[in-house]
Amino acid sequence: MGFPKGFLWGGATAANQYEGAYNVDGRGLSNVDLLPVGEDRRAVVFGEKKMFDFEDGYFYPAQNAIDGYHRYKEDIALFAELGFKTYRMSIAWTRIFPNGDEPEPNEKGLQYYEDVFNECKKYGIEPLVTISHFDTPMYLVEKYGSWRSREMIGYFEKYCRTILTRYKGLVKYWLVFNEINMILHAPFMGAGVYVGDLTEKEATQVKYQAAHHELVANASAVKIAHEIDPENQVGCMLAGGKHYPYSCNPKDVLVSQLRDREDYFFSDVQARGEYPTFMLKKFENEGINVIFEEGDKELLKENTIDFISFSYYMSRVGTADPEIAERTTGNVFDSVKNPYLPSSEWGWQIDPLGMRIILIELYDRYQKPLFIVENGLGAMDIPDENGYVEDDYRIEYMADHIKEIRDAIDLDGIPVLGYTMWGCIDIVSAGTGEMKKRYGFIYVDRDNLGNGTLKRSKKKSFDWYKKVIESNGEIL
């Protein structure tokens, strides 16, 4: 009973939030480099404000992030000390193909990740690699309008083929697009798609066409991965978090159900290999014309993913009643506030039981193994003079969520492959660009404006998580 032998405990980061070194060793500019801290960030993230280059008067935290590019050895050594079985990280497309369309890849970028994977191997840590964590070369954004254009698929395939070939034998677990459903909510951050000059109807059309291109590219990536090495395991990655009906009024139930389906649309295609009927109906009813090319349907059908991965931070609430106005922030988009749940300092609703609920829901829907690749508490840590943080609130958050995963395994019989908590080392927040929104077991001395020594130090939760892993989830 409890967590199975071989359960992949670990932590997760993403290139643009961790590496920095945005212009080092030939790296090209990426959409995610251009998200400033401050009040304009949301508009840029949501594709409403155009920011295709660095502008004066803004601070861009991804430029240097926590300098993981130069400090990964120290960091992986700490992950090894924690006992990580896996480390989820992403490859920056622009380190491999700086513009996205070069005939040959950038050797320095390829070598960098090879070194990272070898460093993991040294400690027996299995890499879990996201091919695109919100990451699109700006050159392709400017030239083609990013994923709205079909051209992207070929460039992405080439990128996938290059890394899958190079890292054969070093990496077995792959995720294609991080939180693919974010393209509907945060199109510029999620997929480099700027929609600020479009009407709402045009923007919807562009977003679904771009989503189709990503779904086709996802199927291609699965195909290439399986061809190159049948041992490869490829997952989709969904921003999870169910909508609960605000009340048992059937109207609230329906609103919540329909809202969830917008997100499940992506994993439905990736796991089942075809567009769900409800989405085809929506396109028909709303006059959305998604262009399929010959062969798309077959490609999608024949190349479904091996497992379902998702992030889970919170549940959401749906209501049909416009009078219920109290809302709260959440992972990228906000939600009606749930009166039964406490919230984090950033207003995200804390709901451990929701972890079990979403595990059940996803397994019932797909019957594929599940992998929780993001979960955690973004909090304002206050370190002592040695950089030590008494983060009992984080320990409590995680213990409560991990217990629910254990119940889902023990009581519901759900196959769960692993758990990588988000931001195992403090990194730049994707939503706000802040450094003070911290998730890690490892504190990093850096502030919102990039000041600090970047020194790493262990928080209280470091020793706690180490014991969790050592005991395979018995001691929480």
Of 179, 214, 404, 434, the active-site residue reads 179
- Residue 388 sits at φ, ψ, to 5 deg, of -90, 135
Nearer to ligand BG6, 76 or 430 (CB): 430
Q: In the complex, what is the shortest distance from the CB of residue 348 to ligand BG6, in angstroms, rounded to a whole number?
A: 8
Binding site for ligand BG6 (CB under 6 A): 14, 17, 178-179, 239, 311, 331, 374, 378, 422, 429-432, 437
Nearer to ligand BG6, 374 or 404 (CB): 374
Residue linked to tokens 């508009």? 43
Q: In the complex, what is the shortest distance from the CB of residue 134 to ligand BG6, in angstroms, rounded to a whole number?
A: 7
Nearer to ligand BG6, 125 or 239 (CB): 239
Q: Do the Cβ atoms of 407 and 399 come closer than 8 Å?
A: no
Catalytic status, residue 200: no
Catalytic status, residue 179: yes
Q: In the complex, what is the shortest distance from the CB of residue 340 to ligand BG6, in angstroms, rounded to a whole number?
A: 22
- CB within 8 Å of 358: residues ≥ 6 apart: 240, 241, 242, 310, 312, 315
Nearer to ligand BG6, 14 or 164 (CB): 14
Distance set, CA 59 to CA 38, 55, 449, 450 (Å): 8, 9, 7, 9
Nearer to ligand BG6, 123 or 393 (CB): 393
Of 19, 119, 214, 374, the active-site residue reads 374
Q: In the complex, what is the shortest distance from the CB of residue 90 to ligand BG6, in angstroms, rounded to a whole number?
A: 9
- Residue 153 sits at φ, ψ, to 5 deg, of -60, -45
Nearest CA-CA partner of 416 in 425, 424, 407: 407
* CA–CA distance, 97 with 443 (Å, rounded to integer): 32
Q: Do the Cβ atoms of 292 and 212 come closer than 8 Å?
A: yes
Q: In the complex, what is the shortest distance from the CB of residue 342 to ligand BG6, in angstroms, rounded to a whole number?
A: 17
Q: Which residue is nearest to ligand BG6 (CB)?
A: 431
* CA–CA distance, 89 with 92 (Å, rounded to integer): 10
Nearer to ligand BG6, 309 or 319 (CB): 309
Tally of CB atoms within 10 A around 403? 16
Per residue, the 3-state secondary structure of 180-215, as one string, reads CCHHHHCHHHHHCCCCCCCCHHHHHHHHHHHHHHHH
Q: In the complex, what is the shortest distance from the CB of residue 156 to ligand BG6, in angstroms, rounded to a whole number?
A: 19
Nearest CA-CA partner of 308 in 373, 258, 260, 352: 373
Residues with catalytic function: 179, 374
